């Protein structure tokens, strides 16, 4: 790979760091999704990686900042994109040619620490070749995409990147008050019609009887998943989910060899605030169900949280950026399941041709039937 364009490097820390060297030839080894092993880029020798699903620790939320571990297993540096602001973690010996998020080559080194070490991750299962195939097929189905997208898209500008997420666990205890509505029916009589045709009819009319409801509700929430990246389009990410979190394995730097990892831009406390919003929404629905009745109104509740735990996890995404008329469009593939989604430019010419075709068919049908 080419050297990263950067600013003055005189203050950048340079240290000898761990690499995963091939025992046969001394070349660099990278994690290969197809084989789920480290593979040498030079002689194709293979080395096993120990997948550990046990001993994944969930950390105490309140003491996290005091005891946080920032040692990722080998020295990390942060590459910050001057165009979009994305911060990507690289091994000290690695280089980047362009930003994985926007395709820009204007990236600089920073001395900011890598942050809290991930507790676990889901390793890549989809290889780069497979990701390229899935993306190519997805692009072909984009009817309104410009021809330039389908013919000049650069498959080489695709990076495997681990996206940071937080998961939160918490016991919750809620006290609530509300009004519970129960339907009942009464028979009412009314006159209908006019003049001599008027007559009395009876009908059943629904009424609501309201009563005060109050009580408490307790629930344990497990693995509330919060995206810790501000670079990822939340709508696209929701289309790529779900991830099978049962496949989480203990973090090892070997899994990152050959891939990028984004530094979280939504910190632990901000992530918890987002988790609280998810929890409160869930509690509102479940408390309504507990109250019962036919309607619930004026629901008010307060919630206390206890035993809050968290994990910092990494989830695999293949990502590529395409620049069309100075605007950046991103495509992403779930590195575990192969689900594809993204943004695409729209060809104005294709849209106009479709509109003209519809108008032509409409007018043709009108003249045909009007002259019969």
CA distance 28 to 38: 9
Whether residue 10 is predicted with pLDDT greater than 50 in this model: the reply is: no
> 129-181, pLDDT tens digit by residue?
898 888 778 777 665 565 655 555 555 578 888 999 999 999 999 999 999 99
145 backbone dihedrals φ, ψ, rounded to 5° = -70, 145
> 322-336, pLDDT tens digit by residue?
766 666 777 889 999
CA distance 135 to 243: 19
pTM (2 decimals)? 0.73
Whether residue 1 is predicted with pLDDT greater than 50 in this model: the reply is: no
Q: Return the pLDDT at 331.
A: 82
Residue 263 near residue 115, CB atoms below 8 Å = yes
H-state helical runs in the chain: 64-67, 128-140, 147-152, 234-240, 268-291, 348-370
Averaged pLDDT, 53-68: 78
> 96-135, pLDDT tens digit by residue?
556 667 666 555 556 566 678 888 999 999 998 898 888 7
Averaged pLDDT, 57-79: 70
Please give the residue that has the higher pLDDT: either 267 or 64.
Answer: 267
Residue 192 near residue 199, CB atoms below 8 Å = yes
Q: How confident is the model at residue 360 (pLDDT cuts 50, 70, 90)?
A: low
Cα 93 versus chain centre, distance: 29
Name the 3-class secondary structure at 116.
coil
Q: Return the pLDDT at 11.
A: 34
């Amino acid at each position: 790979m080419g050297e990263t364009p950067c600013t003055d490097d005189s203050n950048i820390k340079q240290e000898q760091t761990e690499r995963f060297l091939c025992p046969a030839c001394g070349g660099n080894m990278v994690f290969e999704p197809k084989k789920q092993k480290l593979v040498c880029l030079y002689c194709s020798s293979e080395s096993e990686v120990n997948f550990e699903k046990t001993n994944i620790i969930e950390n105490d939320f309140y003491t996290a900042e005091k005891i946080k571990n920032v040692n990722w297993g080998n020295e990390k540096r942060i590459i910050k994109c001057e165009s979009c602001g994305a911060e990507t973690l690289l091994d000290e010996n690695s280089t980047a040619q362009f930003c994985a998020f926007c395709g820009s080559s204007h990236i600089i080194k920073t001395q900011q620490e890598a942050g809290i070490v991930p507790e676990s991750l889901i390793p890549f299962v989809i290889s780069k070749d497979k990701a390229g195939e899935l993306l190519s097929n997805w692009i072909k189905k984009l009817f309104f995409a410009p021809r330039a997208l389908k013919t000049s898209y650069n498959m080489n500008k695709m990076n495997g990147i681990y996206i940071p997420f937080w998961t939160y666990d918490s016991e919750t205890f809620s006290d609530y008050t509300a009004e519970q509505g129960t339907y009942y029916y009464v028979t009412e009589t009314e006159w209908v019609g006019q003049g001599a045709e008027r007559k009395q009819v009876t009908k059943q009319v629904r009424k609501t009887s309201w009563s005060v409801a109050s009580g408490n509700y307790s629930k344990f929430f497990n693995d509330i998943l919060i995206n810790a990246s501000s670079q990822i389009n939340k709508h696209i990410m929701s289309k790529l989910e779900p991830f099978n979190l049962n496949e989480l394995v203990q973090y090892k730097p070997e899994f990152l060899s050959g891939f990028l990892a984004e530094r979280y831009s939504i910190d632990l406390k901000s992530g918890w605030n987002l988790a609280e919003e998810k929890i409160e929404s869930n509690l509102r629905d479940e408390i309504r169900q507990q109250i019962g009745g036919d309607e619930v109104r004026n629901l008010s509740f307060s919630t206390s949280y206890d035993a809050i735990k968290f994990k910092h996890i990494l989830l695999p995404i293949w990502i590529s950026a395409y620049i069309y008329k100075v605007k950046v469009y991103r495509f992403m593939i779930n590195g575990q399941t192969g689900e594809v989604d993204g943004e695409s430019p729209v060809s104005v010419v294709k849209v106009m041709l479709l509109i003209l075709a519809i108008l032509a068919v409409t007018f043709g049908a009108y003249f045909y039937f009007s002259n019969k």
